[in-house]
Chains A and B, each alone.
Chain A
Amino acid sequence: MEADYVNIGKRLPRIDGIVKATGEAKYAADLFLPGMLHGKILRSPYPHARILNINTTKATKLPGVRAVVTGKDTLGFKAGGIATKGDEPYLALEKVRFIGDGVAGVAAIDEEIAEEALDLIDVEYEKLPAVTDPLSAMNEGAPLVHDHAARNISFKTDLSYGDVDKAFKECDYVRHDRFETAPIRHGFIEPHAALASWDNSGKLTFWGSKQSPYFTYRNMAKALNVPLSRVRVIQPYIGGGFGGKNEMFNVDFCAALLSQKTGKPVKIVVSQEEVLFAYRQRHPAIIDIKIGLKGDGTMMALEANIVADGGAYLSIGAMSLYLMCSFITFPYRLPNMKAKGYRVYTNTQPSCAMRGHGVPQTRFAAEVQLDVAAKEMGLDPIDIRLKNVVKPGEITPNGLKITSCGIEDSLTEGKRILNRWTKERQKDCDGKIKRGIGVGCYGYVSGPRVAGHNTAGAVIKVHEDGGVSLMTGSTDAGQGSDTVLSQIASEVLGVHLEDIRYGMVDSDITPVDPGTYGGRVTFITGNAVRLAAEDVRNQLAEVAASSLKANPKDVVFRDRKVFVADDPKRYLPFDKLVKTAQYSGTGKTILGRGYWAPEGLEVVNFDTGKGNFSATYSFGTQIAEVEVNIETGRIKVNRMAMVHDCGQPINTMLMEGQLEGTAITAAGQALMEEIIRKDGQTINPSFLEYRMSSILDACDVEVVHTDTHDEIGPFGAKEAGEGVQVATVPAIVNAIYDAIDVPFKRIPVTPLMVLDALKEKSLKKGER
Chain B
Amino acid sequence: MKKQIRLKINGLEYEIAIRPHWTLLTVLREELGLTGTKKGCDKGECGACTIIMNGEAILSCMTLAIQAQEKNILTIEGLSQGKKLDPIQDAFVKYGAIQCGFCTPGMIMTSRALLNKIPRPSTEEIKKGLSGNLCRCTGYVKIIEAVQKVSTEGVT
Same complex origin of A and B: yes
A interface residue numbers (CB < 8 A to B): 11, 13-14, 16-18, 20-27, 29-30, 32, 186-191, 237-240, 242, 269, 271-273, 477-480, 653-654, 656-657, 660-665, 686-688, 692-696, 698, 700-701
Residues on the B chain within 8 Å of A479, using CB: 99, 137
Q: Is B41 an interface residue (CB 8 A)?
A: yes
B interface residue numbers (CB < 8 A to A): 29, 33-43, 45-46, 48, 75-77, 79-80, 85, 89-90, 92-96, 98-105, 108, 126-128, 130-131, 133-144
* B96/A664 in contact, CB under 8 A: no
A-B contact pairs, 29 of them (CB 8 A): A11-B96, A17-B93, A21-B85, A23-B34, A26-B35, A30-B29, A32-B33, A189-B48, A189-B103, A238-B100, A240-B102, A272-B42, A273-B43, A479-B99, A654-B96, A657-B138, A657-B139, A660-B141, A661-B136, A664-B139, A665-B139, A686-B43, A686-B45, A693-B139, A694-B140, A695-B135, A695-B140, A696-B128, A698-B144
* B101/A698 in contact, CB under 8 A: no
- Closest chain-B Cβ to A725's Cβ sits at a distance in Å of 12
Residues on the A chain within 8 Å of B133, using CB: 695
Task: Indicate whether A701 sits within 8 Å of B99 (C-beta atoms), given known contacts A22-B85, A695-B127, A695-B131.
Answer: no
- Closest chain-A Cβ to B18's Cβ sits at a distance in Å of 13
Max chain B Cβ within 10 angstroms of own Cβ: one of A14, A187, A687: A687
Nearest-CB residue, chain A, relative to B33:
A32
* B36/A22 in contact, CB under 8 A: yes
Say what secondary structure dominates the interface of chain A: loop
- Closest chain-B Cβ to A239's Cβ sits at a distance in Å of 3
Residues on the B chain within 8 Å of A701, using CB: 139, 141
Residues on the B chain within 8 Å of A26, using CB: 35
* B131/A189 in contact, CB under 8 A: no
Task: Indicate whether A16 sits within 8 Å of B130 (C-beta atoms), given known contacts A656-B96, A660-B139.
Answer: no
- Closest chain-A Cβ to B147's Cβ sits at a distance in Å of 10
- Closest chain-A Cβ to B62's Cβ sits at a distance in Å of 13
Residues on the A chain within 8 Å of B40, using CB: 189-191, 272
Residues on the A chain within 8 Å of B130, using CB: 695
Max chain A Cβ within 10 angstroms of own Cβ: one of B33, B75, B100, B104: B100
Complex Cα–Cα for A606 and B42 (A): 41
Closest 10 CB pairs of A and B: A23-B36, A478-B100, A239-B102, A20-B101, A664-B139, A23-B76, A17-B93, A30-B35, A660-B139, A687-B45
Complex Cα–Cα for A686 and B103 (A): 16
Complex Cα–Cα for A235 and B29 (A): 20
Residues on the A chain within 8 Å of B35, using CB: 23, 26, 29-30
Complex Cα–Cα for A696 and B143 (A): 12
- Closest chain-A Cβ to B64's Cβ sits at a distance in Å of 15
Residues on the B chain within 8 Å of A237, using CB: 100-101
- Closest chain-A Cβ to B36's Cβ sits at a distance in Å of 2
A698: contacting residue among B38, B46, B139, CB under 8 A: B139
- Closest chain-B Cβ to A728's Cβ sits at a distance in Å of 11
Complex Cα–Cα for A27 and B75 (A): 17
A478: contacting residue among B33, B48, B99, B139, CB under 8 A: B99
Residues on the A chain within 8 Å of B92, using CB: 17, 21
Task: Indicate whether A13 sits within 8 Å of B93 (C-beta atoms), given known contacts A20-B104, A695-B144, A698-B127.
Answer: yes
* A660/B138 in contact, CB under 8 A: yes
Max chain A Cβ within 10 angstroms of own Cβ: one of B33, B139, B143: B139
* A22/B79 in contact, CB under 8 A: yes
- Closest chain-B Cβ to A580's Cβ sits at a distance in Å of 33
Complex Cα–Cα for A71 and B20 (A): 36
Complex Cα–Cα for A25 and B92 (A): 15
* B93/A25 in contact, CB under 8 A: no
Complex Cα–Cα for A513 and B50 (A): 36
* B39/A29 in contact, CB under 8 A: yes
Complex Cα–Cα for A478 and B97 (A): 11
Residues on the A chain within 8 Å of B141, using CB: 657, 660, 664, 698, 700-701
Nearest-CB residue, chain A, relative to B141:
A660
* A661/B137 in contact, CB under 8 A: yes
* A27/B102 in contact, CB under 8 A: yes
Residues on the B chain within 8 Å of A16, using CB: 101
- Closest chain-B Cβ to A512's Cβ sits at a distance in Å of 24
- Closest chain-A Cβ to B25's Cβ sits at a distance in Å of 12
Residues on the A chain within 8 Å of B142, using CB: 656-657, 660
Complex Cα–Cα for A686 and B45 (A): 8
Complex Cα–Cα for A190 and B137 (A): 12
Residues on the B chain within 8 Å of A21, using CB: 85, 89-90, 92-93, 98, 101, 104, 108
* B131/A694 in contact, CB under 8 A: yes
* A240/B108 in contact, CB under 8 A: no
Complex Cα–Cα for A687 and B37 (A): 19
* A189/B46 in contact, CB under 8 A: yes
* B136/A27 in contact, CB under 8 A: no
Residues on the A chain within 8 Å of B137, using CB: 240, 478-479, 657, 661
- Closest chain-B Cβ to A216's Cβ sits at a distance in Å of 18
Nearest-CB residue, chain A, relative to B142:
A657
Complex Cα–Cα for A190 and B136 (A): 10
16 additional contacts (CB under 8 A) given A17-B92, A660-B141: A21-B89, A21-B108, A23-B34, A23-B37, A190-B40, A191-B39, A654-B96, A656-B142, A657-B99, A657-B138, A657-B142, A661-B137, A664-B139, A687-B45, A695-B133, A696-B131
A188: contacting residue among B36, B39, B102, CB under 8 A: B102
* A20/B98 in contact, CB under 8 A: yes
- Closest chain-A Cβ to B38's Cβ sits at a distance in Å of 7
* B76/A190 in contact, CB under 8 A: no
Task: Indicate whether A687 sits within 8 Å of B100 (C-beta atoms), given known contacts A663-B139, A701-B141.
Answer: no
Residues on the A chain within 8 Å of B95, using CB: 653
Complex Cα–Cα for A688 and B59 (A): 15
Complex Cα–Cα for A565 and B126 (A): 51
* B94/A188 in contact, CB under 8 A: no
* B131/A687 in contact, CB under 8 A: no
Complex Cα–Cα for A661 and B103 (A): 14
* B100/A188 in contact, CB under 8 A: yes
Residues on the B chain within 8 Å of A188, using CB: 100, 102, 136
A13: contacting residue among B34, B37, B96, CB under 8 A: B96
Max chain B Cβ within 10 angstroms of own Cβ: one of A32, A269, A477, A698: A698
A688: contacting residue among B36, B45, B100, B143, CB under 8 A: B45
Nearest-CB residue, chain A, relative to B104:
A20
* A694/B134 in contact, CB under 8 A: yes
- Closest chain-A Cβ to B108's Cβ sits at a distance in Å of 6
Complex Cα–Cα for A478 and B138 (A): 9
Complex Cα–Cα for A20 and B75 (A): 14
